[in-house]
Structure 1
Amino acid sequence: MPAANFASATIWTGDNLDIMRGMNSACVDLIYLDPPFNSNRTYEAPIGSKAAGASFKDAWTLDDVDVCEHGELADRNPAAYAVIDAARQAHGKGMQSYLVFMAVRLLEMQRILKPAGSIYLHCDPTASHYLKLLMDGIFGKDRFRNEIIWSYRTGGVSKNYFARKHDVLFYYSGGSMFNMQTEKAYTKSKNRKPGLVNYGAGQAMFYEDDNGIYNLVSMRDVWEIPY
């Protein structure tokens, strides 16, 4: 397996597509990406911050992607290109352009990721349904492990629909190794005390902190994390 041709903990600035194309294949263990969401908004850095004056337009047209990338996708991954074409018909050219932008980068991530490596894609319901199909086509549906819901309560609400209070993370992995994580599960029972409790099928250790009595359980795929 090729070794990485860059130093660990290296930070780059610029278009990650150009950077990834300079990396050796199968040399990365873990990828996390928090890309644009196709929110159709322009984001500006806060006044007074070091980035003041900078802005980013998260709205997409065919002018935002290289025409050659369409042909590249059709040749390298027909399944991914079929998803993009379906999105164009159902959602329009803006979604098509956004998915082309994403797909060419996901293809490079698939190339540089080790066979047993893992990738986490952070998105929201704006395009998560299309991105899931892209990931299935590029990384393989058998490598899908979890759809993780990041739930939060901040921000405004609408009078026209349920409050939109979650993001989505898609987790894919080519390996079977998984480092199990635990989280605190607080009990509502007023009679529960700290200590070991025996059940018919096993036992559980309960602890106490400032928020109450809890035990440690396997981490779920719904994460309550405030902004």
Structure 2
Amino acid sequence: MVSQVRRQPLAAQAADLLLTRIRNGEWPLGHRLPGETTLAAQLGVGRSTLREAIRELAGKGVLDSRQGAGVFVTALDVTEDWDVVLRRATIASVIEARIAIEAEAAALAAQRRTPADLRAIRRALAAREAHGEPIADHVDADMAFHRAVIVAAHNDVLTQLFDSFLPRLRVAMIDMLQIRPAPSEPADHDAHIRLTDAIAHRNPSAAAEFSRKHLTALKDAFT
């Protein structure tokens, strides 16, 4: 049986044309698109097809149709699924994102941490030191420490971002340590102690710097 090539629906083609024009900068972020009649004529489709194309892009977060006001550009491209992005990302890219998140989180933790937060960080630090083997347990204890610091920042967005990295990061860390153990585990643990002390003493600049230096060294170990 010979398979037939399916033609892309007209509305999908119109949506692709609109998205291309948006990507090319024809309509900047926040800009209102031309009226239905004008836009349909430009694309060579009927108004019902245009509306369907707009609905498709609205569903992807690119356009927003506002009653009585028109259709506005709300994103300059389609956002890929976060899990897909992380699966494709190199571990160095993930760690670079961690540096951006965790250095700021460490500074905020130094400012905002409560006594309960500090106790949680210190418990996680002690657990990290106790779990040297097996490697998976050590990685889990290390991730728990870093998460405790982020939780102490009291910013739910930062916590959610870190949690989204965890599965990708955990696998990569286990793989790396199996192939290439840390050059000096005591020195690595001392870096975590210094970070904890900076948070305990409410020193945001030191906390951010210790976090950044530690994670930069981790990235260098991968490259």
After TM superposition, the score normalised by the length of structure 1 is: 0.23
More strand by share: 1
More helix by share: 2
- Structure with bigger gyration radius: 2
After TM superposition, the score normalised by the length of structure 2 is: 0.24
